[in-house]
Amino acid sequence: MKRKVFAVLLAFCCISSIFLLQLGNKPAPAQAASWDLVWSDEFNGTAGSGVNTSNWLYDQGTGYGCSGCPANWGTGEVEVMTNSTRNVYQDGAGHLAIKPIRESNGTWTSGRIETQRTDFAAPAGGILAVEGSIQLPNVTGAGAAGYWPAFWMLGAPFRGNYLNWPGVGEIDIMENVNGLNTTWGTFHCGYYGGGPCNEPNGIGGQRNCSPTTCQASFHTYRIEYDRSVSPEVIRWYQDGVLFWQVEQNRSGMDDTTWRNALNHGFFIILNVAMGGGFPGAFGGGPTGSTVSGAPMLVDYVRVYTSKGSASTPTPPPSNCTDFKYGVDKTGSTTARPWFQPCGWTAGYVILHYTRPGLSQQNVYMHYNSGAGRWEYDVSGLSSGQTLQYSFTYQRNGLQYDTGWSSWTQS
């Protein structure tokens, strides 16, 4: 979330200009990275219960309360954050809900939680990945005015200081405002009033949710901070599709600013704000038409690390000039789509697939070093059902898509 800790609302007047869609020349992601799950919350608590306070702490009020800390969380948002299960609760169906509520006196309450841990960091020569599966508040149009849900991270040195933003780094994994079918990813660094990260706006990109809207269903949002490549890079993904990245050697970025923003741990934040500068830049804050009580639902938050990349390409398979792919039947109701590069190494491969009557799935494939190919197991297939599938793959720093194919379960 755009924690413009010292920002004034006028700083957002040109915010749309910073969200560039062009990825430019992209350093290659880790080659066949092997991920280790280091922390997660699956939100499997009983219905109506609060969060696991071993994992999370509640932010309350309208700011951190320190001497010199700005009001309204530094953004102009108007809600009061609480630890009430009216605002923050587990729904008993495997989800966290953060629900903004218009109270009887017309004011708003909502929820904001931070991880207890502040040590989520990329190992030297490795990669940090933070991912969440989230359905945004299911409200659009006039009823969504002022809604500002977010999934984001702040540098560990911020906690307890609260006045050293943006130099200590902020990574906004996902933000959305006013019920738009668009999410933003942003990096904050340097100093207020310009600098390498164009503060207080930051530098970021955006992507629309598809085929369902961000509000209609769950989508995955992920960042990777990759120290296994040179220059280092931060990548943003929506549903497994890379849509934005920031490189260490981008124009105007210096090594000191980069290190100050990233050479430490981070903590994770989930919240739904109401009003503030970002919604204001896209039509305004809450009005009398704004719907009360539309929650952001979080299926999971997971943190992974990888030791980095394998540098030796797999020998090419026979009778293959570029790449091969297909689907193997592995059981009466299971199948294994696969993708095999021919003499080159893919940075990643994403499988897109649909089954009859179900929405499209977009998932990272796993690298099988023994077979020299990328694989993913699909279950729930009945005899005669057709699997439609395609791939997105990364080669030499660029991303490509294959056409769609079909395979029928026998």
Distance between CA 87 and CA 294 in Å, rounded?
A: 10
* pLDDT reading at 278 higher than 70: yes
3-state class (DSSP) for residue 279: helix
In this predicted structure, the answer to whether residue 207 has a pLDDT above a threshold of 60 is yes
| Mean pLDDT of the residues in the chain | 89
Give the confidence band of 262 by pLDDT, cuts at 50, 70, 90: very high
The predicted pLDDT at position 15 comes to 37
Lowest average pLDDT, out of 252-266, 298-312, 347-361, goes to 298-312
Burial class (CB in 10 A: 0-12, 13-18, 19+), 111: buried
Range picked from 174-178, 339-343, 372-376 for highest mean pLDDT? 174-178
* pLDDT at residue 400, rounded to an integer: 87
Q: What is the second-level CATH architecture of the domain 323-408?
A: Sandwich (2.60)
What is the third-level CATH fold of 9-306?
Jelly Rolls (2.60.120)
Nearest-angstrom CA–CA distance, 305 and 158:
22
342 vs 62, more confident: 62
Q: 397: Cβ–Cβ under 8 A, 6 or more apart, which residues? A: 25, 26, 27, 28, 347
Q: Is residue 175 pLDDT above 70, yes or no?
A: yes
Least confident of 2-16, 41-55, 108-122, 210-224: 2-16
Enter the tokens of residue 144.
Answer: 């969504």
List the chain domain ranges: 9-306, 323-408
Q: Average the pLDDT over 194-202 and give the result.
A: 96
